Amino acid sequence: MKEAKYFLGQIVHHKLFNYRGVIYDVDFEFRGGEEWYEKVARSRPAKNQPWYHVLVDNASHQTYVAECNLMVSQNKQRIHNPMVDYYFDDFDNGVYSLHVMKN
């Protein structure tokens, strides 16, 4: 299994589509459907690399992005997406902290 380069709560920048977002989940290889891949993944990134679930800044949706299309964002400001509070508790020094599960 390949190790993920980026971590949950990290703010990233999409190299091709020029948007920022925060990672809230990762698949260590592509877990989407073949139809979605053919229709949406136009640059045809490899499926055998980590793919990240990203909440998009200044939007209300999320994306599914191959690791090769991401880089660390130089802009460490908060992400504005209505789902941020669902996944994260805190924001400190440009990094979000995942919700802690309580019993």
Whether 1 maps to a domain, the answer reads: no
pLDDT at residue 84 above 80?
A: yes
Whether 79 maps to a domain, the answer reads: yes
CATH number at residue 35: 2.30.30
Over the stretch 35-62, which tens digit does the pLDDT of each residue have? Answer: 989 888 888 999 999 999 999 999 999 9
Question: What is the count of structural domains for the chain?
Answer: 1
Whether 21 maps to a domain, the answer reads: yes
Average pLDDT over residues 55-81: 97
Of 80, 63, 83, nearest to 14 by C-alpha is: 63
pLDDT score of 42:
80
Q: Quickly tell me which residue has 């209505």 as its tokens.
A: 82
Q: 57 and 86 in contact (C-beta within 8 Å)?
A: no
Whether 89 maps to a domain, the answer reads: yes
The residue segments making up the domain with residue 30 are: 10-98
